[in-house]
Structure 1
Amino acid sequence: MKLKYVVPLFLLVVVTAGCIGSERAGGSGKEVTLVVFHAGSLSVPFQELEKEFSDYAERELGVKVTFQDEASGSVKAVRKVTDLGKKADIVAVADYTLIPQLMVPNYTDFYVLFATNEKVISFTDESKYSDEINSDNWYEILARPDVTFGFSDPNQDPSGYRSVMVMKLADIYYGKPVFEELVEKNTNIRANGTSIYAPKEIQVVGSKVVIRPKETDLVGLVESGSLDYFFIYKSVAEQHNLSYITLPDEINLKDFSKADYYSQVEITLGSTGKTIKAKPIVYGVTVTKDAPNRELAMEFLKFLLGNEGKKVFKENHQDFLNPPVAFGNVPEEIKDLVKVKG
């Protein structure tokens, strides 16, 4: 065979082999990176689930998967896609309503409600008055002059605006000016009746209150003793072995039977201009319309919504909806794992 025929034949073999490799990996190559924007409170369960999925994908799909995770407040996670034009395969948020409010229809056409949580107040043995605080006197302890406490930024993180709404619900439940004492005296967040306004730029007065972009940013401050208390999700407190007190069902945003009671309070965010009513805590997830690796992202979503996801979330002290509930143009791939509504 002459040399001029050998080279094209060699190239044909290489190209053909490459195509076969791509087909085995679902058309995206043997090595794929999935980009996931998620709530900070999902960091621990998602890391564990992603490891299990990577093992599964390599074993069953012939694809080597790595994850590029970006944990942030959920509002910020969504705005990375809608405002900054960043590409993500999966977006998972601590307040599912952010997806229909900000992402549908331009950035996604479906979403799934999959997990719940509740608000608690967390601390360590080193926190001032940790031997006194309980579910009845917490607001009095937090108001003491030598006590510091924190919550995340309402403009970036549902944990932040939920913490603020918890303190306004406490006004109603206890019949005392909890919100004024804890929030208005220490920040520029204001309330008119039961309607709260959080300016785009949150300002803190004095050193009593600490606000960070996402709730998990406060964990280290409490663990190190620089902060006495913070409002956090129960699952995160459990994952970090922190002490915590539970709050009455009328204010902890856990009880679905108290949805009407919660809805007395609402907050308008300066960052988005959107008004959000207090409601039971429900997490949401979607695959974006222009997901760089949509087929594999759907495989991961199936993994999350199936038995593997339920097991990982249970191990990490977070309740999973049974079944998860899906809205919109629900993909066929997940219809047998969810209850379709809307």
Structure 2
Amino acid sequence: MRKQRSVPYSRRGFLQAVGGAGIVLTAGCLTEGGAGNSTANRSTPISILAAGSLNNALLNGLEPVVDASVQIETHGSAHVARMIDEGLRDPDIVVVADTALFDGPLTPSWYSIFTSNAIVIAYNEETEEGQRLAADPDEWYTVLASDEIALGRSDPKLDPLGYRALFMLELASRYYDTEDLVSKLLQRDQIYPESSLISRFETGSVDAVIAYRNMAVERGYAFIDLPNQIDLSSPEHVDEWYSTVSYSLPNGKKVQGECVSYGSTIRTMSDAALDVFNVLTTGAYLKQHGFILRDTFPAHKGDTPQHVEKEVNGGHSDSKNPTAMFQV
């Protein structure tokens, strides 16, 4: 099989901000975006519980352009789902980085798939080992196998990025026809909460991280783009590649490999929540923060209320054929 070349990418100085797997609460501001009564919208904040990889985009992309006060809290998506399922949080809007979590532990009657992402290898240009990755991006898996390099990743029990890192390495073992990269490269002491992972990476304690592309783009990290067969971004590779890997969450739920899919639903419906949801699922801020947009987004699944489909511009409803949502 012809191998696709891995390409190092660097955008230093674009936007420096620490993304959060931890709690971030913000009070929104009134600007030009959204619709509805501004006084009413600002008096009752819309609470959003979301995937940690969206933290920076929501704070700096969504919040400034909605006509409502918003409270944003971010964690790993599996943790988000568990908090709601156990009654620890009751947000107006929930956003997860893997729509499989909407098939348990969360079971909303409808949701919208609105963006995608890709797995990349981000590396620290200031460390000697990071520079080794920059010098030989096609052999990134060989460089990462070195005892000297410090690799970081998030927890697969709490975060889809964590189990997608496992998926990527399983697929890479097959793609590069090499030994099992999961057992060769991964150790328990590489796992950090997303916020701690980012800080360790930025201070040079970690030479490289398995990350989402948007995390690297919006923070200006150098990174290696991976072949489409293993980066979980391409709908055409779901059947032959992504679907061949899986991971079992602590609650016993088995998550199957597929395209990275971010989904959101409104749990407490109101005019203000619908306005925020509209911008959240259709806003240009997503592309600006490194997320992947397709013509089919947002794609509605389930018994989507008619006023949601009408309000959310460009929505595509396909409850009978979920895979159609990912067709380019």
TM-score class, shorter: 0.7 to 0.9
From 282, 285, 295, the equivalent of 1:322 is 295
Mapped to 2, the partners of 1:131 and 1:85 lie a distance apart of 44
Q: Match of 2:213?
A: 234
Q: Deviations over 1:114-149 (max 9, x none)?
A: 001100011121233333324421111111111110
Q: Deviations over 1:310-339 (max 9, x none)?
A: x11122121223231101111222314311
Q: Match of 1:302?
A: 278
Once the 2 structures are TM-superposed, how far is the Cα of residue 29 of structure 1 from its aligned partner?
7.4
Are residue 159 (structure 1) and residue 161 (structure 2) matched? yes
The one-letter amino acid of 1:52's match is V
Q: 8 Å contact 2:165–2:210 — kept in the other structure?
A: yes
Q: Match of 1:35?
A: 47
Q: 8 Å contact 1:135–1:248 — kept in the other structure?
A: no
The one-letter amino acid of 2:115's match is A
The one-letter amino acid of 2:290's match is H
Instruction: Point out where structure 1 has 5 or more consecutive residues left out of the alignment.
Output: 1-23, 58-64, 187-203
Distance of aligned partners of 1:170 and 1:46 in 2 relative to their CA distance in 1, 3 Å threshold: same
From 254, 277, 287, the equivalent of 2:266 is 287
Specify the structure having the higher radius of gyration (Cα). Answer: 1
The one-letter amino acid of 1:294's match is S
From 203, 224, 231, the equivalent of 1:252 is 231
The one-letter amino acid of 1:278's match is G
Q: Match of 2:193?
A: 213
**SS of residue in 1 equivalent to 2:50:** strand
Once the 2 structures are TM-superposed, how far is the Cα of residue 213 of structure 1 from its aligned partner?
2.8
Once the 2 structures are TM-superposed, how far is the Cα of residue 264 of structure 1 from its aligned partner?
1.1
Question: Alignment RMSD, CA only?
Answer: 2.0
Equivalent pairs, count = 275
Are residue 94 (structure 1) and residue 68 (structure 2) matched? no
Are residue 267 (structure 1) and residue 247 (structure 2) matched? yes
Q: 8 Å contact 2:124–2:131 — kept in the other structure?
A: no
Q: Match of 2:307?
A: 333
Q: 8 Å contact 2:129–2:148 — kept in the other structure?
A: no
Q: 8 Å contact 2:41–2:272 — kept in the other structure?
A: no
The one-letter amino acid of 2:230's match is I
Mapped to 2, the partners of 1:27 and 1:131 lie a distance apart of 52
Q: Match of 2:26?
A: none
Once the 2 structures are TM-superposed, how far is the Cα of residue 113 of structure 1 from its aligned partner?
0.3
Once the 2 structures are TM-superposed, how far is the Cα of residue 219 of structure 1 from its aligned partner?
1.5
Q: 8 Å contact 1:235–1:316 — kept in the other structure?
A: yes
Q: 8 Å contact 2:111–2:300 — kept in the other structure?
A: yes
Q: Match of 1:71?
A: 74
**SS of residue in 2 equivalent to 1:117:** coil
Residue identity over aligned pairs, in percent, reads 27
Q: Deviations over 1:46-76 (max 9, x none)?
A: 11212210xxx2xxxxxxx322211110011
Are residue 122 (structure 1) and residue 99 (structure 2) matched? no
Q: 8 Å contact 1:122–1:229 — kept in the other structure?
A: yes
The one-letter amino acid of 2:209's match is F
Distance of aligned partners of 1:154 and 1:298 in 2 relative to their CA distance in 1, 3 Å threshold: same
Q: Match of 2:151?
A: 149
Q: Match of 1:51?
A: 64
TM-score, normalised relative to structure 1:
0.76
**SS of residue in 2 equivalent to 1:111:** strand
**SS of residue in 2 equivalent to 1:132:** helix
Higher strand share: 1
The one-letter amino acid of 1:51's match is P
Q: Match of 1:192?
A: none
Distance of aligned partners of 1:180 and 1:305 in 2 relative to their CA distance in 1, 3 Å threshold: closer
